[in-house]
């Protein structure tokens, strides 16, 4: 535990939540990818289903963990955070926000009368992306606040809107 504490600049016990939650979410992601691959190759309901899932989940967990640790190194100097565990919280916020905004866009597109089956993909996907964008912006601030990273995401939001030419929206 001391090694984890020193590596992630943990000063209080509640901060252990972020490394453990991050590791758990990486495991869930690795498992989900493994199951999708399993179904892609029609290996479900065979004798190889669970050994395949466990081995592939372990491989993906290792690869994803290495990738995220590499991202932490690259973003260490770019993102201004006080403690290293805050970077895990920021990654979790980005992941949760992206997933939820994509899920919420589905009912909104259906509410305005656009359905994937009845409308051309050339119209459906650009409209859906335009719907996702404001949902994502709002959820980013909300989840940033819930995870104690409001200031980081507020600054991120202002920079993003300025780059998109929408800086006039910010007071």
pLDDT at 123: 87
pLDDT at 2: 83
In the predicted model, residues of the chain with pLDDT beneath 70 are 171
Both tokens of 119, joined, read: 């409308």
pLDDT at 161: 83
DSSP class of residue 14 equals G
pLDDT at 68: 92
Give the span between the Cα atoms of 159 and 51, in whole angstroms. Answer: 46
Which DSSP string do the residues of 103-151 spell out, in sequence order?
A: HHHHHHHHHTT--TTTS-HHHHHHHHHHHHHHHHHHHHHHHHHHTT-HH
Give backbone dihedrals phi and psi of 78, rounded to 5 degrees, phi first.
-85, -40
Q: Identify the CA nearest to 102 among candidates 128, 122, 126.
A: 128
pLDDT at 118: 85
pLDDT at 167: 73
pLDDT at 66: 95
């Amino acid at each position: 535990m001391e090694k984890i504490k020193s590596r992630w600049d943990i000063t209080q016990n509640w901060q252990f939540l972020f490394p453990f939650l991050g590791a758990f979410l990486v495991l869930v992601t690795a498992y989900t990818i493994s199951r999708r691959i399993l179904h892609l190759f029609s290996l479900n309901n065979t004798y190889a289903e669970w050994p395949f899932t466990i081995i592939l989940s372990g491989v993906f967990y290792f690869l994803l963990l290495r990738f995220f640790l590499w991202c932490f190194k690259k973003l260490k100097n770019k993102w201004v955070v006080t403690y290293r565990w805050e970077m895990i919280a920021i990654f979790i916020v980005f992941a949760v926000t992206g997933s939820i905004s994509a899920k919420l866009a589905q009912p909104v597109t259906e509410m305005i009368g656009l359905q994937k089956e009845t409308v051309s993909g050339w119209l459906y996907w650009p409209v859906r992306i335009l719907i996702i964008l404001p949902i994502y912006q709002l959820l980013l601030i909300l989840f940033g606040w819930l995870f104690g990273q409001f200031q980081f995401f507020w600054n991120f939001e202002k920079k993003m809107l300025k780059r998109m030419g929408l800086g006039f929206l910010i007071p």
